[in-house]
């Protein structure tokens, strides 16, 4: 439960942090483009190629969040608070149908809902 909450928090602030880092880098590049043009060009090239590890890290964070959530959901526990999960009462499916697997487990304690792949559903 705690590792999930930590990874989820990092997942929430990571894109905004990377955005502000790139805004700062753009401002720095603009500031030095008149003083040292080769440094500004190198800064732009490094920024473009730095997107590859930034996106890869974000995808790894998303994967780890979903993996931790699926592990807790399989144990019928909420990844957020650790309480017991119940099926979404608003959606009903016939037993044995394909829709039965698509029901979102909901937490009885905090009200969080999750899809079967581990994504959190906005409620």
Task: Quick: pLDDT tens for 28-75.
Answer: 999 998 899 999 899 989 999 999 999 999 999 999 999 988 888 888
Q: Residue 99 has what pLDDT?
A: 52
Between residues 77 and 18, which one has the greater pLDDT? 18
Which stretches of 1-123 are assigned E, i.e. beta strand? 85-87, 105-107, 113-114, 120-121
Query: What share of the chain in percent tops pLDDT 70?
Result: 81
- Tokens standing for residue 32: 């030095």
Lowest mean per-residue pLDDT among 1-5, 16-20, 80-84, 91-95 = 91-95
pLDDT at 102: 57
pTM for the model: 0.71
- Report how far residue 84's alpha carbon sits from residue 76's, in angstroms, rounded to the nearest whole number: 6
Assess contact for 85 and 78: CB atoms under 8 A: yes
């Amino acid at each position: 439960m705690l590792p999930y909450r930590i990874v989820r928090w990092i997942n929430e602030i990571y894109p905004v942090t990377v955005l502000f880092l790139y805004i700062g880098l753009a401002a720095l590049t603009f500031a030095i483009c008149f003083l040292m043009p080769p440094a500004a060009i190198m800064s732009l090239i490094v920024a473009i190629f730095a997107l590859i590890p930034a996106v890869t890290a974000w995808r790894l964070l998303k994967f780890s969040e979903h993996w931790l959530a699926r592990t807790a959901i399989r144990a019928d526990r909420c990844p957020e608070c650790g309480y017991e999960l119940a099926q979404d009462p608003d959606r009903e499916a016939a037993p044995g149908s394909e829709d039965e697997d698509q029901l979102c487990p909901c937490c009885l304690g905090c009200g969080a809902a999750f899809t079967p792949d581990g994504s959190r559903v906005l409620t």
